[in-house]
Chains A and B, each alone.
Chain A
Amino acid sequence: DQQVKQNSPSLSVQEGRISILNCDYTNSMFDYFLWYKKYPAEGPTFLISISSIKDKNEDGRFTVFLNKSAKHLSLHIVPSQPGDSAVYFCAASATGANSKLTFGKGITLSVRP
């Protein structure tokens, strides 16, 4: 049973526009959520996170929104740049889980020049 779902496998946006990447989860014990970015032939790199006590966290061009009642989070990238083209993984963890993360399947973002 997939506890973290990224239902859209890919997204293509024009440079300068907003990219919105969505993620849903089913486990109500999850209380911390992260986004990772991965380029081909490289390891994932941490991008941004949000605790369940917040509904928004912003870092430069990246903003993550959390809707706990809907068990949904989204990553907004504004403005999108060609260098943002990568696979984005949503991940979630629960307090006391020995730092284990549950990952979604990833979304491939392509930003067109």
Chain B
Amino acid sequence: DVKVTQSSRYLVKRTGEKVFLECVQDMDHENMFWYRQDPGLGLRLIYFSYDVKMKEKGDIPEGYSVSREKKERFSLILESASTNQTSMYLCASTLQGVLNIQYFGAGTRLSVL
């Protein structure tokens, strides 16, 4: 089974803090994705990466950056957390060109106070 692991299930941070959300997958997938899920808004793509050190902006990249130094690990960085970044963050991965089935981690519920 594909395993996508997000380092924290729940995080509470203060406004202005730098926040790191980590995601690791164990299936040698090329593509990795970060989404946020908010009530009534569905899943919105923040950033994705299709190879080590490669990244592309998704639909809502403002206020976020990412890092992919190793194939299995994709990090989401909130440079200066704000209250409107309180959300559920979901990481996903998939093999390149294989039916686009993305496998998700359990999510990180981030609260910014």
Residues of A within 8 A of B (CB): 6, 9, 32, 34, 36, 41-46, 49, 89, 93, 97-101, 103-106
Contact = CB atoms under 8 A, between A and B. Distances in A.
A103 B44 CA distance: 7
Contact of A41 (B4, B35, B107): B107
Given A42-B107, A44-B43, A89-B42, A99 B100 contact: yes
Contacts of B58: 100
A111 to B, nearest CB: 21
A89 B102 CA distance: 13
A43 B99 contact: no
Interface residues of B, number: 32
Contact of B42 (A32, A43, A105): A105
A34 B40 contact: no
A45 B104 CA distance: 7
B107 A99 contact: no
Interface stretch (B11-19, B70-78, B79-87, B89-97): B89-97
B45 interface: yes
Contact of B102 (A6, A41, A99, A106): A99
A58 B58 CA distance: 32
B3 to A, nearest CB: 11
A14 B67 CA distance: 46
17 contacts: A32-B99, A41-B107, A42-B106, A43-B107, A45-B104, A46-B101, A46-B103, A98-B48, A98-B50, A99-B96, A99-B100, A99-B102, A100-B58, A101-B45, A103-B35, A105-B40, A106-B43
